[in-house]
Chains A and B, each alone.
Chain A
Amino acid sequence: MRPFEHIFKEIDKDRGLLYAWFAAMHSRVDIVICDKCENDMLAVTGKIYERIAQLEKLANFYDPHSELTKLNEVPAGVQTEVGEELLSMLYLSMRYNELTDGRFDVCVKSDGYTGGMWGNVEIDLEGGTITKQRYGIRFDLSGFLKGYALDQARNILTGYAVSDVLLSIGNSSVLALGNHPFGDGWRVSYPESDDSNIEIDLHDECLTTSGNANSERRHIVNPVSGALIEGEGRISVVTRGGAEGEALSTAMFVERGAGEREAILGRFRRARLLDTMN
């Protein structure tokens, strides 16, 4: 039995469209693939499902058995061997922290968070180790993992030579590759305000949204103030990759100054900020 639900529709004698959906990362995943063979599309969807499950197992902040949790529990000053993938995710997170002037920070859930936590973290890429030099540093990759998963899914799709795909993880992290069966790229819409939507065509790129869906649902911490960002609001960015989309959209939601935003945006090649509720 497959771990996901799916629907298949034949478009013409050469092509079909598969829509599959499943739960992962405390959210839902929706994937549409246009290709020749239904079985191949199911196989690649299965691989994506497995990869996402693997990432969740590795880096779930809330899973007491994840490698990330085990790293978070290591006391300060202990050089710890970390698997290649987790090391890579943390290194990328650190780089995005620099590129966003600290507005994207996976350390915000550290004890006594003050910003600048990365200055107390030593990552040895060659040795495969991490050393936290300060008490209470914890990494929470929840705001990064979906985008990273999109990038991993893209690698799988490329490996299978599947070129026309729309993949959404939780609606907020979207990868669009190739074309809709009857269009150029993929056309999606997102809310501009309570009563109007904005349409955008995506061409081999990612659409990432950060924000509070309503005033009650606050979940993004402002690394500058250390407080949860209040109020309804959202911001979307289009980037080449998913992981950078997560970092940039969070940074744009946190940073409200136009000049600062522009400076950060300029460091992400081909990135676009969409004018959304903020």
Chain B
Amino acid sequence: MKKELSRRDFLKSAGLIGLGAGTLLSTVPWMEALADENTKKTIGEKVRIGIIGPGSRGRFLMNLIKKNPKAEMVAICDIYQPSIDKALKIAPKAKVYNDYRKLLEDKEVDAVVIATPLYRHYQMAMDSLDAGKDLFCEKSLSYTIAQCYDVYQKYKSTGRIFFVGQQRLFDPRYLKAMEMIHSGMFGEIQAVRAFWFRNGSWRNNVPDPSLERQLNWRLYKEYSRGLMTELGGHLLQVGTWAMQKLPETVMGAGGLTYWKDGREVDDNVSCIFSMDDGRRITYESVISNKFYGLEEQIMGNLGTVEPEKGMYYFEDGTVNGVTPKPAAGFMQMMKDVQNQVFEKLPFAGTSWEPEVAKDVKGNYIMGEDYKINTDGSQELINAFVEAVITQKQPERIAEECYYASAMVLLGYDAIEQGKKLTFPHEYRLNYLNHKHQAK
């Protein structure tokens, strides 16, 4: 029997039920925003949100916001009428703006959600924070690592609430997996092999050729950093979350190998991020083959986790350190004894061989009956709403989000320059193993 994941189940899975806010797992302090004892205090409050860029992703977020009784969408801003029309179906009472700066002047807007093409994020984010609005920006945060750093500093100086759309931070599978990883169940994480493979053009249908670059902005370098910024940030953030370590260097390579349709961004990329102790996170994306799909393979010396699949595996083929099955020979002997039979035990021989990868069935992170009904996006939005109401920025979320974007942009630079790049010290935060050094 499949079971749905209720909100209470979700919180329970994240260790939030029965715990005070102060007893949260040290590696997921941002979950404090959703602790029962905190959300109860904000019942009846209402956050007024403006949506900048209600395109397909923007409307996806709008539908999540609509489900939160503590939020209402009071304004939208776009220059493409079909998007405005669709957005108004979700938020019929929202005021419509064609210039985001006008939306930012609206005193009835407490917070903004930015879901525009990547190259617009920077100025919009900076202006939003300057205007005193709390900010939820879709990933990646900005078009360059320097811009990301500026936005992060602006967040610090203004003291506004600041989230980026890294929903895995709230995905129950990932939260549970990280709890296991950080407990040492899989030993020290040696490597993370992250990949996102698709087979599709990644192209939107365009009603008029003049709209090609506007609607297919992801395909052009002027507006987008391609597969790095659009897909890589989720996976790399999982990698550093698992390792609790940030990279020193990155190497990369990429190419346009299949979708040669006039686009400019690569359709085939690969990056290697190296830690100061030699451990690595690799990221690959190809959009002309989907066989291996999407995964972050988190590899410790004792086991492996595949959070997307919701599975984990031990090197010795055990579950929670306990051999999953009794040995057949011994079980037979238990039966023989009941029948008062003295028989041989057919088990002795060379060392018992653990299951090898092709045979290992693995163990379920959330239990066999778990049915995925959230990827963390709803909870991410809910946490943002709670933070805006309480004006309390959850710990570490800004830093996790900053680095997710900074890493993909550094990887992009490595691919473009064909060089091994060191993470610039001037763009490091004082976070985990990184220390900021002014240039």
Interface residues of A (CB under 8 A from B): 3-5, 7, 9, 11, 17, 19, 21-23, 26-28, 30, 32, 62, 64, 166, 168, 170-172, 174, 180-183, 186-191, 197, 199, 207, 209-213, 217, 234, 236
**Docked complex Cα distance between A199 and B348 (Å):** 10
**Docked complex Cα distance between A153 and B410 (Å):** 55
* Contact of B334 with A189 in the complex, beta carbons under 8 Å: no
* Contact of A189 with B350 in the complex, beta carbons under 8 Å: no
* Contact of A28 with B323 in the complex, beta carbons under 8 Å: yes
* Contact of B348 with A17 in the complex, beta carbons under 8 Å: no
* Contact of B330 with A171 in the complex, beta carbons under 8 Å: no
A27 to chain B, nearest CB (A): 5
A5, A23, A180: which has the most chain B beta carbons within 10 Å? A23
- Interface secondary structure of B, over-half rule: loop
Q: Specify which of A28, A197, A212 is in contact with B327 (CB 8 Å cutoff).
A: A28
A33 to chain B, nearest CB (A): 12
Does B366 make an interface contact (CB < 8 A)?
A: no
B328 to chain A, nearest CB (A): 11
B188, B316, B337, B346: which has the most chain A beta carbons within 10 Å? B337
* Contact of A172 with B352 in the complex, beta carbons under 8 Å: yes
* Contact of B331 with A19 in the complex, beta carbons under 8 Å: yes
Known: A5-B326, A183-B342. A27 touches B352 (CB 8 A): yes
Does B438 make an interface contact (CB < 8 A)?
A: no
Q: Specify which of A3, A181, A207, A210 is in contact with B350 (CB 8 Å cutoff).
A: A210
Chain A residues with CB below 8 A from B344, complex form: 187-189, 199
* Contact of B323 with A171 in the complex, beta carbons under 8 Å: no
B273 to chain A, nearest CB (A): 23
Q: Specify which of A3, A183, A213 is in contact with B321 (CB 8 Å cutoff).
A: A3
* Contact of B350 with A5 in the complex, beta carbons under 8 Å: no
B308-327 Cβ-contact flags toward A at 8 Å (1 or 0): 00000011101001110011
Does B345 make an interface contact (CB < 8 A)?
A: yes
Does B343 make an interface contact (CB < 8 A)?
A: yes
**Docked complex Cα distance between A211 and B352 (Å):** 11
* Contact of A188 with B345 in the complex, beta carbons under 8 Å: yes
Does B183 make an interface contact (CB < 8 A)?
A: no
Chain A residue nearest to B188 (CB atoms) is A64
B323 to chain A, nearest CB (A): 5
**Docked complex Cα distance between A182 and B341 (Å):** 6
Chain B residue nearest to A274 (CB atoms) is B348
**Docked complex Cα distance between A209 and B347 (Å):** 11
25 contacts between A and B (CB under 8 A): A5-B322, A5-B323, A17-B334, A19-B330, A19-B331, A21-B327, A21-B330, A22-B321, A27-B351, A27-B354, A28-B327, A30-B330, A168-B348, A172-B349, A172-B352, A180-B337, A182-B342, A188-B346, A189-B345, A189-B347, A189-B348, A190-B349, A197-B346, A217-B353, A236-B348
Number of B interface residues, CB 8 Å? 32
Q: Specify which of A62, A186, A210 is in contact with B301 (CB 8 Å cutoff).
A: A62
Chain A residues with CB below 8 A from B323, complex form: 5, 21-23, 28
A32, A189, A217, A236: which has the most chain B beta carbons within 10 Å? A189
**Docked complex Cα distance between A172 and B323 (Å):** 17
**Docked complex Cα distance between A199 and B346 (Å):** 8
Known: A19-B334, A27-B352, A32-B330. A166 touches B318 (CB 8 A): no
* Contact of A191 with B321 in the complex, beta carbons under 8 Å: no
Does B340 make an interface contact (CB < 8 A)?
A: yes
B369 to chain A, nearest CB (A): 21
* Contact of B346 with A171 in the complex, beta carbons under 8 Å: no
* Contact of A11 with B337 in the complex, beta carbons under 8 Å: yes
Beyond contacts A26-B315, A180-B342: 15 other A-B pairs, Cβ-Cβ < 8 A, are A5-B322, A5-B326, A9-B337, A17-B337, A19-B326, A22-B322, A26-B354, A28-B323, A62-B301, A182-B341, A187-B345, A189-B348, A209-B348, A209-B349, A211-B350
Chain B residues with CB below 8 A from A170, complex form: 351-352
A21 to chain B, nearest CB (A): 5
Chain B residue nearest to A34 (CB atoms) is B337
**Docked complex Cα distance between A207 and B347 (Å):** 11
Does B205 make an interface contact (CB < 8 A)?
A: no
Chain B residue nearest to A18 (CB atoms) is B334
* Contact of A171 with B352 in the complex, beta carbons under 8 Å: yes
Does B333 make an interface contact (CB < 8 A)?
A: yes
* Contact of A172 with B346 in the complex, beta carbons under 8 Å: no
Chain A residues with CB below 8 A from B341, complex form: 182
**Docked complex Cα distance between A211 and B350 (Å):** 6
Chain A residues with CB below 8 A from B351, complex form: 27, 170-172, 209, 213
* Contact of B349 with A234 in the complex, beta carbons under 8 Å: yes
Chain B residues with CB below 8 A from A23, complex form: 314, 316, 318, 321-323
Q: Specify which of A5, A28, A213 is in contact with B349 (CB 8 Å cutoff).
A: A213
Chain B residues with CB below 8 A from A189, complex form: 344-348
